[in-house]
Amino acid sequence: MVTGGGTVTDGAPGGAPAEEIAVGTPDGVLEAELLRLAGSVPDPELPVLSLAELGVLRGLQLVGPGRVEVQLTPTYTGCPAIDTMVTDITQVLREHGMAEVSVRTVLSPAWSTDAISAEGRRKLAEHGIAPPRPVGSGGPVPLELSVRCPHCGSVDTTVLSRFSSTACKSLRRCESCREPFDHFKEL
């Protein structure tokens, strides 16, 4: 299996012990290429990001000739985009020779905004969406930090609505440049 982080293992579904596959083997190379293809699928709600950049693609495993299983974690339980993600992943892998594509939803560990890659955060800001701040790993309750405007860089911003075009974004306005913008909520 190839994981979203690039680790190549030959594990059974469900977290059973795994044997390493050498990346240079035909199966390891094919799995890595299929993971790259699946990861290049654009997110249906944030098409500026790929599924790999969003961090929802957990892994991929060849389960037989022309058969592949993909592990996908939604951004939140009940995410309406998951069906479109499954359809798009299935289509791209079938176009590249996989006759049977199974996409399994993995809910644990839960996805968090920390899974968004640095490139994904850069793309969000470039497209006028304030990227989420790092969540951290527990401890004392953090102070509410200001959200920086992706247009002018000011931290003088106001929440207009807790929900924007998708449930994972809020709508804000910069008080300096007066431009509205989406902010990807920290999860």
In which domain, by residue range, is 90 found? 2-111
In this model, does residue 12 exceed pLDDT 90?
no
Q: Is residue 61 part of a domain?
A: yes
Domain boundary among 78, 111, 144: 111
- Same domain for 36 and 103, yes or no, is yes
In this model, does residue 5 exceed pLDDT 60?
no
In this model, does residue 26 exceed pLDDT 60?
yes
Domain boundary among 65, 83, 111: 111
Whole-number Cα distances in Å, 21 to 32, 68, 102, 108? 11, 16, 21, 24
Q: Is residue 136 part of a domain?
A: yes
- Same domain for 83 and 57, yes or no, is yes
- Same domain for 140 and 78, yes or no, is no
* pLDDT 10s digits, 45-99: 999 999 999 999 999 999 999 999 999 999 988 888 999 999 999 999 999 999 9
Quick one: pLDDT at residue 123?
96
Q: Is residue 90 part of a domain?
A: yes
Question: What is residue 92's three-state secondary structure?
Answer: helix
* pLDDT 10s digits, 135-182: 665 666 556 678 999 999 999 999 999 888 888 889 999 999 999 999
Mean pLDDT over 36-53 rounds to 96
- Same domain for 135 and 107, yes or no, is no
Q: Is residue 117 part of a domain?
A: no
Whole-number Cα distances in Å, 132 to 30, 77, 120, 135, 152? 33, 19, 11, 8, 17
Quick one: pLDDT at residue 16?
32
- Same domain for 21 and 48, yes or no, is yes
The total number of structural domains in the chain stands at 2
In this model, does residue 187 exceed pLDDT 80?
no
Q: Is residue 87 part of a domain?
A: yes
Q: Report the amino acid identity of residue 100.
A: E
* pLDDT 10s digits, 94-146: 999 999 999 999 999 999 999 999 999 999 999 999 998 776 656 665 566 78
Separation between Cα atoms, residue 34 and residue 12, nearest integer Å: 18
- Same domain for 154 and 107, yes or no, is no
- Same domain for 178 and 144, yes or no, is yes
